[in-house]
């Protein structure tokens, strides 16, 4: 007898899956083609905002055959919250010299825009030859700072999402799909007793 068709996985803490692993994979291939068209065959330096952009960066850069260098910047996170509060801070900055280099900055999600503004201002001070930005997700409805990314994977609604690198209180980064966290899982108290 043929094996029964597998129903799509839904993690018990998710209210819905917004983007499946297969959808993400397909979109990344198309993004890589757009990026390739912008840079030609030249070398560029990828700057990834960790931890959120780790999965996206590693999948995207494997679709790109240009010579690339990789560096990371760590920006302060939400902690166990679902809304950004105050101003993000740079916790760990670059180690590579990016003066006169073409730079591609990669983040998981563009939300209020504060993070991308902070980091692009820092990078511009280091005088790169060029700077482009790429985000997997864009929550346009939440923008507070007028900033857009040059390459966007998906526009998504104003919902708190986890999976594929995105966390809540450091959990769920390893989910292969991107989904909306159930409301009852969106408070720190839900994790307090472990």
Residue 178 interface partner, choices ligand 5GP, Mg ion, none, CB cut-off 5-8 Å depending on type: none
Is 39 or 78 the residue whose CB approaches Mg ion more closely?
Answer: 78
Q: Out of 52, 113, 128, 165, which residue is the one contacting Mg ion (CB under 5 A)?
A: 52
Judge contact between 107 and 116, C-beta under 8 A.
yes
> Which helix (H) or strand (E) segment is 60 a member of?
helix 54-61
Is 31 or 166 the residue whose CB approaches Mg ion more closely?
Answer: 166
| Other Cβ atoms within 10 Å of 106 Cβ, number | 25
Q: Does 88 bind Mg ion (CB under 5 A)?
A: no
Kindly state the tokens that stand for 49: 């905002």
Is 113 or 153 the residue whose CB approaches ligand 5GP more closely?
Answer: 113
| Other Cβ atoms within 10 Å of 144 Cβ, number | 11
What is the CA 124 to chain-centroid distance, rounded?
Answer: 20
Q: CA 164, 160, 135 angle in degrees (round to 5)?
A: 50
Q: How far apart are CA 77 and CA 116, in angstroms?
A: 13
Q: How far apart are CA 110 and CA 142, in angstroms?
A: 9
- Give the shortest CB-142-to-ligand 5GP separation in angstroms: 7
- Give the shortest CB-34-to-Mg ion separation in angstroms: 22
Q: Does 113 bind Mg ion (CB under 5 A)?
A: no
Q: How far apart are CA 178 and CA 192, in angstroms?
A: 24
Q: Does 163 bind Mg ion (CB under 5 A)?
A: no
Is 59 or 111 the residue whose CB approaches ligand 5GP more closely?
Answer: 111
Q: How far apart are CA 45 and CA 103, in angstroms?
A: 5
- Give the shortest CB-48-to-Mg ion separation in angstroms: 10
- Give the shortest CB-21-to-ligand 5GP separation in angstroms: 17
111 is an active site residue: yes
Residue 84 interface partner, choices ligand 5GP, Mg ion, none, CB cut-off 5-8 Å depending on type: ligand 5GP
Identify the active-site residue in 111, 138, 167, 177.
Answer: 111
Contact residues toward ligand 5GP (CB under 6 A) are: 49, 52, 78, 84, 88, 107-115, 160-162, 166-168
What are 103's strand-pairing partners? 45, 131
Catalogue the active-site residues: 111
Residues in touch with Mg ion (CB under 5 A): 52
């Amino acid at each position: 007898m043929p094996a029964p068709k597998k129903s799509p996985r839904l993690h018990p803490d998710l209210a819905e899956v917004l983007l499946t692993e297969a959808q993400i994979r397909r979109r990344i291939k198309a993004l890589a083609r757009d990026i390739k068209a912008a840079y030609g065959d030249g070398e560029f330096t990828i700057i990834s905002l960790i931890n959120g952009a780790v999965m996206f960066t590693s999948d995207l850069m494997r679709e790109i055959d240009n010579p690339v260098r990789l560096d990371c910047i760590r920006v302060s996170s939400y902690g166990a919250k679902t809304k950004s509060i105050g101003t993000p801070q740079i916790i760990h900055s670059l180690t590579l010299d990016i003066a006169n280099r073409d730079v591609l900055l990669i983040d998981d999600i563009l939300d209020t825009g504060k993070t991308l503004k902070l980091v692009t201002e820092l990078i511009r001070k280091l005088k790169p030859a060029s700077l482009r930005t790429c985000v997997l997700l864009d929550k346009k409805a939440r923008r507070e700072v007028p900033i857009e990314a040059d390459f966007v994977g998906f526009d998504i609604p104003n919902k708190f999402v986890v999976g594929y690198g995105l966390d809540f209180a450091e959990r769920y980064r390893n989910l292969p799909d991107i989904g909306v966290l159930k409301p009852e899982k969106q408070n720190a108290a839900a994790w307090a007793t472990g």
